[in-house]
């Protein structure tokens, strides 16, 4: 906003100038930290992609200083998670979710339910979300193939790895739709990507449609057009879908209720709206089954109980007793060990 006012020759109110300065300072700090972490992961032999944050700011707006971001989102292959955790710990980060490291078998179960871990650096205040799956809308856990990567120049000599434009557009659409488009800045990112494309976004739409992401991508395009005035891509025809209409209607209500500024996790609608929005975006039965499984098994129960491999079927059965125990302000602090099968 400060840049727009300045370009128009209009005075910049002090509050906007201060906010812009804070966004610039945060963007520079996060970019420097992302470059540092990328270097440490490369030394450990762990490929990583950076999502949103600095890479999206440069790709969509041309500068890391104009897009606000609360954390650094990055993705690694599921098998590289333990090594990445160690790298982050050595870099000064404390893991807050899950609350502790998990044995290999328990970690595999945790990865099927949750898509990321959360790490905070108490020295500089930076938060990192380490993903092993791009979205909860997907049942698979995989690092996108190299053909879907691109390098974004942070300065003339340093770059960060991120998704190619078609993959980035599909990812941002799935992310925003799965959260009911609670924050208008997610739609602004969509509008910026469409506006920056040479063909007005037609190729981005066709790529998303052909990859099975038609519903969240159509939602992104339609809501950006309705709320922000972003032109529709040439040739865009939204799919005839009751679920798409329901998703957009739900999203408009969420945006209006939260002023387009609050994430669902910070509101009272999170426990209802997010599962509903996520189910409305799913495109296959495996994805639907995976999402239902995540609703049935809270990730925190896996961390609490750490059941051995082969006993995962007990998590849904234990959910109600654990819920009662938590509501009575008591919860087990012991590691539950079940008898091992005889060799």
Find residue 73's DSSP bridge partners. 51, 129
Return the closest-CA partner of residue 161 out of 50, 268, 80, 53. 50
Is the CB of residue 240 less than 8 Å from the CB of residue 166?
A: no
Tokens 């590289």 belong to: 80
pLDDT: which is higher, 3 or 74 = 74
Mean pLDDT value across the chain = 86
* pLDDT tens figures, 13-68: 776 667 666 777 888 889 999 999 999 999 999 999 999 889 999 999 998 878 88
- Measure the CA dihedral 115/119/124/125, to 10°: 70
List Cβ neighbours of 17 (8 Å cut-off, separation of 6 or more).
2
Give the tokens for residue 112.
Answer: 């099927």
The predicted-structure confidence for 293-334, as pLDDT tens digits, reads as follows: 887 888 889 998 899 888 888 888 888 888 788 777 654 554
Quick: pLDDT tens for 232-262. 999 999 999 999 999 999 999 989 888 887 7
Q: Do 67 and 19 touch, CB atoms closer than 8 A?
A: no
**Coil, strand or helix: which one is 110?**
helix
Q: Which residues pair with 150 in a beta bridge?
A: 162
């Amino acid at each position: 906003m400060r840049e727009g006012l300045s370009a128009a020759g209009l005075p910049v109110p002090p509050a906007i100038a201060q906010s812009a300065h804070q966004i610039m300072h945060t963007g520079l700090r996060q970019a420097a930290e992302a470059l540092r972490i990328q270097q440490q992961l490369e030394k450990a032999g762990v490929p990583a992609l950076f999502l949103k944050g600095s890479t999206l700011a440069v790709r969509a707006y041309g500068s890391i200083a104009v897009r606000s971001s609360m954390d650094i989102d990055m993705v690694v292959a599921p098998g590289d998670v333990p090594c990445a955790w160690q790298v982050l710990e050595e870099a000064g980060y404390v893991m807050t979710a899950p609350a502790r490291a998990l044995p290999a078998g328990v970690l595999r179960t945790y990865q099927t339910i949750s898509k990321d871990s959360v790490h905070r650096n108490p020295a500089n205040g930076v938060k990192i979300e380490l993903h092993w799956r791009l979205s909860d809308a997907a049942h698979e856990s995989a690092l996108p193939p190299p053909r879907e990567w691109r390098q974004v120049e942070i300065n003339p000599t340093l770059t960060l790895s991120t998704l190619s434009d078609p993959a980035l557009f599909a990812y941002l659409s799935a992310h925003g739709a799965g959260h009911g488009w609670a924050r208008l800045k997610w739609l602004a990112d969509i509008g910026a990507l469409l506006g920056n494309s040479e063909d007005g976004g037609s190729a981005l739409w066709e790529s998303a449609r052909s990859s099975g992401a038609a519903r969240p991508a159509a939602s992104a395009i339609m809501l950006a057009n309705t709320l922000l005035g972003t032109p529709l891509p040439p040739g865009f025809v939204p799919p005839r879908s009751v679920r798409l209409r329901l998703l957009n209607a739900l999203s408009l209500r969420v945006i209006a209720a939260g002023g387009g500024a609050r994430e669902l996790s910070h509101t009272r609608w999170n426990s209802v709206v997010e599962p509903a929005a996520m189910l409305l975006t799913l495109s296959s039965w495996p994805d639907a089954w995976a999402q239902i499984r995540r609703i049935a098994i809270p990730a925190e129960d896996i961390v609490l109980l750490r059941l051995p491999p082969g006993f995962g079927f007990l998590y849904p059965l234990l959910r109600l007793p654990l819920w009662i125990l938590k509501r009575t302000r008591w919860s087990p602090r012991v590691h539950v060990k079940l008898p091992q099968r005889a060799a």
